[in-house]
Structure 1
Amino acid sequence: MKEILFFLTTVCFVVLSCTKEKTDYEAEIDTVVPEYKEFKEAYAINSDGYKISIEALNGTFYTGYNEVRLEITDSQTNEKVNVSAVTFLPIRTNVDKRNVSCPHRYDLIDKPDDGYFSGYAVFTDRSDADGSWELYISFTIADQIHTAKQDISVHEQANKNMNMAMFEGKDDEQYFIALVSPQKPKVGENELVAGIYRFNKPNNPPSSDFPDASQFSYTEVSDYTLQLDPRMPEPSMGNHSSPNNKDLTQRSDGLYHGMVNYTMTGNWTLNFILLNQQGQILRGTLVPTDFTPGVEGVKSELHIDILF
């Protein structure tokens, strides 16, 4: 009887702890997890008689994944012009004068029905005393190439559901995983979307004036698999997982789609194992399946922490 009472007391403690954590996090959702749906102008550049309007969600660039929309109009008439190509290159200059970039779409995609060129940037660092960001843009009109540049501010991402990870794979390549969606998950099954990118190490020294895009090139990796094991690592949660999760695989949009089932609000860790086209592990480790109440959960060497 004593053993049974002790067991029931322990179970009650765990359940009450879960309820308390859930209540605390639910109270925090409205203020901690922002959700942006509207694109607004972040910067406007006037160059060679043309206006370049750069739009982003909330009109702000954040660390992590940012969808970018770019419109070009005649500065005098405000009418759209016939642009045949647009390039987009973000460069960060660190305090030591070293120049780096981040995953981005260099050749923007023309969306004629929507009236803009589409791309993205996965900013790896915010703008601060250690470094600043600048955009280098080129656009072609009537076979003439025009160039422009713009200092920009990149803010820290407050939404942990949009976190990212940078790491070196077992193939000695540099990789980036950036969460794209959902911005604000719900309890239950959520489509999980992420971008996976690899830095293309330059094979040759710069061949043109700064910035030479070949020195700052990134690839959307193709046909990889991102295995998923979500857990609640808080000691009171015992590092438990959830059913009906699906690994992330690539779709036609270049992004990786899967399914994550959040059984409650709170701290979650997305544990990953990244496999290449041949099924070889590039990064990540299996997480023990033990239920460990009172002990902080073990995480994969490749993981992203979120909160909702």
Structure 2
Amino acid sequence: MKTLKYIFAILILSVSFVSCSDDNDETPMEPNPVEGLNKIYEFPSADHSVEIYSEKTALEVGYNEISIRIKDMASDKYVTNAAATWMPMMHMETMEHSAPHSMLSNTESNSVYKGYIVFQMPGNDTEYWDVTLNYNLNGQAMTETHRVSVTQPADGLNKVQVFMGSDDNRYVLAYVNPKTPQVAINDFQAVLYKMENMMSFPVVENYKITVDPRMPGMGNHSSPNNEDLTFNPTTKMYNGKLSLTMTGYWKVNLKLLNQSGEVLKGEDVTESNPESSLYFELEF
């Protein structure tokens, strides 16, 4: 009887040892590089597909962060180091034009290419946006153009301004952050481009954008400790601070100043002038 108990104990230990060994041999799962993003498009081809992701559920007028993956159907794997580039294009009834956009760059995962596009206007039944992608697939240069839908933001708030400055240059100014405003001093970020022609939108460097948030429904009061937006040469964006003292609807009044301090667009908020002609809108 003691012998049987001894053998039984040995068997249990053996099973436990094998189980622990199997657990230790498990390969840890790789993190999903597009976790938390929405796949808003998938464009299949004969031997591969192009997937487009965004934090949003659709492409909207204004600033859109976009991630792209290219899947090789033969290997069932995503293509790494595809040297992807892109070009957005708006096809109107009488003309065509592009949009401000960043380069596509690899993220920590070499199979994800990330950038942003600032769409200036929505599409409709007769006027539409498409995006041309250039990339390498198994040593072959590929070019594909895909039509995309761009709509007005669902909240109806203005987060992009296309305007003519007093210097007779056309500018595109777009809100970037905070994505989720808080009752706090928020990190404030925007991008500024100049329209050289229908296809060229260079980043505007070293200007200044003054910040004056107001609550029109609450006596048009402002808030303390805001910081004007100034150019960051690393990110090519404008950074500042946005103080929001309560929830509700805010109009963030702005003025654009060039390197000489000349006002190109926007006005001070005063008792006789309750809002600037250059502004963003927030509601939270």
Aligned to 1:150: 146
User: In 2, Cα distance between the equivalents of 1:124 and 1:192?
Assistant: 21
Identity of aligned residues (%): 32
Residues 11-50 of structure 1 mapped to structure 2, 5 A cutoff: 38-47=36-45, 49-50=47-48
Aligned in 2, Cα 1:101/1:120: closer, same or farther, shift over 3 Å? same
1:132 aligns with 2:144: no
User: In 2, Cα distance between the equivalents of 1:303 and 1:113?
Assistant: 37
Q: Which is worse superposed, 38-47 or 68-77?
A: 38-47
Aligned to 1:253: 235
Aligned to 2:26: none
Structure 1: gaps (5+ residues): 1-36, 202-214
- TM-score (normalised: structure 2): 0.79
1:103 aligns with 2:122: no
Q: 1:115 aligns with which of 111, 115, 118?
A: 111
Give, in angstroms, the shift of residue 226 of structure 1. Answer: 0.9
Give, in angstroms, the shift of residue 114 of structure 1. Answer: 5.4
Aligned to 1:3: none
1:186 aligns with 2:179: no
Q: 2:59 aligns with which of 52, 58, 61?
A: 61
Helix, strand or coil for the counterpart of 2:254? strand
User: In 2, Cα distance between the equivalents of 1:66 and 1:305?
Assistant: 17
Letter in 1 for 2:149: S
Letter in 1 for 2:123: S
User: In 2, Cα distance between the equivalents of 1:112 and 1:259?
Assistant: 28
User: In 2, Cα distance between the equivalents of 1:162 and 1:74?
Assistant: 39
User: In 2, Cα distance between the equivalents of 1:262 and 1:113?
Assistant: 36
Aligned in 2, Cα 1:249/1:146: closer, same or farther, shift over 3 Å? same
Q: 2:164 aligns with which of 150, 161, 168?
A: 168
Q: Deviations over 1:246-293 (max 9, x none)?
A: 1111222222121111122222211111122333322111111x4x8x
Higher-Rg structure is 2
1:225 aligns with 2:201: no
Answer whether contact 1:51 1:74 (CA < 8 A) is retained: yes
Q: Which is worse superposed, 155-164 or 145-154?
A: 155-164
Helix, strand or coil for the counterpart of 1:287? coil
Give, in angstroms, the shift of residue 122 of structure 1. Answer: 1.1
Q: Deviations over 1:66-98 (max 9, x none)?
A: 00111122122122334342121121212x242
User: In 2, Cα distance between the equivalents of 1:70 and 1:59?
Assistant: 15
Answer whether contact 1:161 1:183 (CA < 8 A) is retained: no
Which structure has more relative contact order (CA 8 Å, sep 6+)? It is 1
Give, in angstroms, the shift of residue 187 of structure 1. Answer: 1.7
Aligned to 2:221: 240
- TM-score (normalised: structure 1): 0.73
For this pair of structures, how many residues does the alignment match?
A: 249
Letter in 2 for 1:191: D
Q: Deviations over 1:72-129 (max 9, x none)?
A: 22122122334342121121212x2421222112x31122535311111111222223
1:287 aligns with 2:269: yes
